[in-house]
Amino acid sequence: MSILEKLERDENSPQYVEQWLGYYLLFLDGREIDAIKYSLNSYTTFPDNSSGLFNAACGYAQLYKIELDEVGAKEILTSQNRLESLRLLRQAIRVESGLKALARKHPDEGDSFESLEDDVEFLRITEPRTSA
């Protein structure tokens, strides 16, 4: 990861380095805030690409899981991490509706959206459209 972080500081590096960092840092414990920062920076650079928003939503969901574990709760509806994850996920889905299915694939144990698996708002946001 340090190679990507060094590359990100180089003004001649590809602009997508922040997007890559935003994604890969989600897999390193304790790097969630950095993942969010890089993901949101990437989205600012590429506003038509929803992956920055989606990855930031994943990061906030992971922080929410840490928060839940620390207090031993199943849910904290007023958690800023929860609310920000849902807000960013909603925004990402507005840019690319196919992300609903991707988010639904990641509420398993150990995945980014594990903390939101039974969350009513998460389920509403990611609910597949039904045709009448």
35-89 pLDDT tens trace: 999 999 999 988 888 999 999 999 999 999 999 999 999 999 999 999 999 999 9
Q: State the pTM of this model.
A: 0.86
For residues 50-63, one letter each, b for 16 or more C-beta atoms within 10 angstroms of the residue's C-beta and e for the rest, the string is bbbbbbbbbbbbbb
Identify which of 67, 63, 59, 66 has the alpha carbon closest to the alpha carbon of residue 41: 59
Q: So what's the pLDDT on residue 98?
A: 92
Q: So what's the pLDDT on residue 15?
A: 65
Residue written as tokens 């988010």?
A: 103
